[in-house]
Amino acid sequence: MKVAVLGSGQLARMMAMASKDLDIEVCFMAMEGEGTESVEGHGEIHVISAGTPAEALFEQLGKPDVITVEKEDVDTDLLRALQPFCQVHPNPDFIDITRHRNKEKRWLNSIGLATAQFEYCDDEASLREAVAKLGLPAFVKSCEQGYDGKNQWLLKAAGDVDQHLAAITRQPCVVEKAVNFSREISIIGIRDRSGKIAVYPAAENHHWQGTLLCSFAPAQNISPALQQQAHDAIEKVLQEGDYVGVVAMECFVTDDGLLVNELAPRVHNSGHWSMEGCDIDQFSAHLLAICGRFDGALGEVRDTAMINLLGVPAPAQFANAENWVVHMYDKAIRPRRKVGHMNLVHDSRTDIRAVVCTQLQEIYTDDNLPIEEIQTEYQE
């Protein structure tokens, strides 16, 4: 079976690596100007010109059985044009919803899932009206192209509106009321072509300057009620979105339960722990699901921590370190860029936090690392 991946970054790379044990051939579609260093040597790379007819592209790709994506920022009209020729998962309509914050939040609310209170704004008047309605502090986030802390602004005082006004009003945004939450978790769900669903245990996530720094899975001390709420929520997303493949749901844990922060229609950074922490990792699960071969079983789950390598090379001290597995993406080092990650499988849920904090301080010298937050073992 052949799968073509639209995109050529590290997520496409890891899908290709997982495919080797599944008897699945993977190739890549890169738009003109898109970097391909992460996938070189892992399958055929096809550089796509805008306006290429869908049938010609399908032939160029070698008539794949399935087309999938590694990111939201893709040409969904192209995906729709390819649907008469082969399976396309996830469906382009869902991608259109989830890559636009206003559409995504309204869709989540329409299926009964709670989000932070929000308002849409696309000019100065609507921005000021939204801030007056929601109050401060508040976050302003661009509807599109907002990830890893980019195109996001925290408004603490009235003067912050004036300070960021020019940047904010250049693009449609949502204004979100600041949420009082105890921690952030993410849930990875899988649905196959027959409607079979499986859900990974929730991961506890810690961010640094807007970018995911580390995750612990399964998240510790989550009550059965919260676990069930998370499972029900991701199942509703999968079913209502007619979704096939892996989807990620990031949430805030509050005194009133979960608030959904955002969705990602793809394999996700906060699921990288599964590469060593689960018998069936998220990349294998995605490929099996879109190819109609997923049996719903994820296998054994092990206590795992994941550290992102952000703008730093592979740490030499971990090359042969016991229990640590380092994954690099063959990407040029740039400040804050995700160039790799490390997974630790540990037999002590108590000690794993201390080990991760020690290693973070060896990898990064920044005094602003959220070490105290990471050290805290949350209680529901």
Binding-site residues from annotation for ATP: 101, 141, 176-179, 184, 207, 261-262
- List all residues 6 or more positions away from 136 whose beta carbon is below 8 Å from its beta carbon: 155, 156, 157, 158, 160, 178
CA distance 6 to 54: 13
Annotated binding site: 101, 141, 176-179, 184, 207, 261-262
Distances in whole angstroms, Cα of residue 60 to Cα of each of 9, 13, 15, 45, 63? 20, 20, 21, 11, 7
CA distance 300 to 208: 30
CA distance 369 to 251: 22
Place of tokens 């945004």: 173
Reading the block at residue 125, the tokens are: 């008047």
CA distance 239 to 167: 37
As beta bridge partners, residue 219 has none
Q: Taking phi first (over 0 means left), then psi (-120 to 50 degrees means alpha), and beta for anything else, what does residue 176 get?
A: beta
As beta bridge partners, residue 253 has 183, 258
